[in-house]
Chains A and B, each alone.
Chain A
Amino acid sequence: MSKKVVSVWTSIPFWRRSAGWVTGFASILLIWLTFDSMSQISMGTDADLKAGITKRVPGPTVINYKITYEMDTKRGHEVPVIGEKEKFFGRDDWSEDEARALLHLGKLGSQTKNCMNCHTLLGNGAYYAPDLTKAWLDPAWGPSGPYLGMTNSSTKEEAMSKFLQDPSQYPTHERMMPDLDITEKEAMGLVAFLKHMSSIDTNGFPRNFARMSTDGVTGAIHGK
Chain B
Amino acid sequence: MESNLKFESQKLATWYFTVAAILFGAQLLMGLIAAAQFLYPSFLFEIFDFSVARMVHINALVVWMLYAMIGSVYWLLPEETGIETVGIKIAKLGFFVLTAAITVVVLVYIIVQIGPATESSIWLIHEGREYIEAPRWADIGIVVVVLIFVANLFLTAMKGRQTGIVTVLMADVLALAGLYLAGMFFTDNISIDQYWWWWVIHLWVEATWEVFVGCLLSYGLIKIIGARREVVEMWLWIEVSMLFGSGILGMGHHYFWIGTPEYWWEIGALFSALEPVPLIAMFVHVIYDWGKETGLKEAESKASGEGYHSMNNSPAFTWFVMNAFGNFLGAGVWGFFHTLPQVNIYTHGTQFTSAHGHLAFFGAYATILIGMFYMAIQGKNNISILKATFDSKMAVFLICFGVMGMTVALTIAGYGQVLVERAQMGATWEGFFVSQDMMWFVQGIGWRLAMGIVTFVGFIYLIKDLLTTSKNSIHIK
Contact = CB atoms under 8 A, between A and B. Distances in A.
A and B associate in one complex? yes
Interface of A: 3, 10-12, 15-16, 18-19, 22-23, 26-27, 29-30, 33-34, 36-38, 40-43, 56-57, 60, 77, 100, 103-118, 120-131, 133-135, 138-140, 168, 172-176, 178-181, 183, 186, 189-190, 193, 197, 200-214, 219, 223
A44 to B, nearest CB: 10
A57 B114 contact: no
B436 A107 contact: no
Nearest to A21: B241
B122 A108 contact: yes
B230 interface: yes
Contact of A30 (B49, B113, B117, B251): B251
Contacts of A131: 349, 427, 432
Given A38-B195, A112-B115, A130-B433, A123 B248 contact: no
Contacts, number: 271
Interface string B204-222: 0000000000000000000
B192 A23 contact: no
20 contacts: A19-B240, A19-B241, A34-B195, A40-B260, A107-B187, A110-B128, A111-B122, A112-B114, A122-B194, A124-B130, A127-B351, A128-B54, A135-B429, A168-B46, A181-B114, A181-B116, A200-B191, A203-B256, A210-B426, A213-B425
Interface residues of B, number: 88
Nearest to B346: A207
Contacts of B117: 105-106, 108-109, 112-113, 186, 189-190
Nearest to A205: B257
Contact of B241 (A22, A36, A129, A133): A22
A123 B114 contact: no
A116 B188 contact: no
Contacts of A207: 345-346, 422, 426-427
Interface string B361-378: 000000000000000000
Contacts of B11: none
Contact of B349 (A29, A125, A175): A125
Interface stretch (B14-22, B63-71, B261-269, B314-322): B261-269
3 closest pairs, A vs B, by CB?
Answer: A111-B128, A109-B117, A206-B427
Interface string B432-443: 111010000000
B190 A12 contact: no
Nearest to B348: A123
A41 B345 contact: no
B192 A15 contact: no
Contacts of A111: 121-122, 127-129, 186
Given A15-B237, A40-B260, A211-B426, A30 B248 contact: yes
A26 B245 contact: yes
A212 B424 contact: yes
Contacts of A37: 195, 255, 260-261, 264
Contact of B41 (A115, A176, A179): A176
A43 B54 contact: no
A161 to B, nearest CB: 14
Contacts of B130: 116-117, 124-126
A11 B348 CA distance: 42
A223 B426 CA distance: 9
Contacts of B254: 124
B426 A209 contact: yes
B259 interface: yes
B109 to A, nearest CB: 9
Contact of A200 (B119, B248, B259, B432): B259
Contacts of B244: 19, 22-23, 26-27
B226 interface: no
A112 B351 contact: no
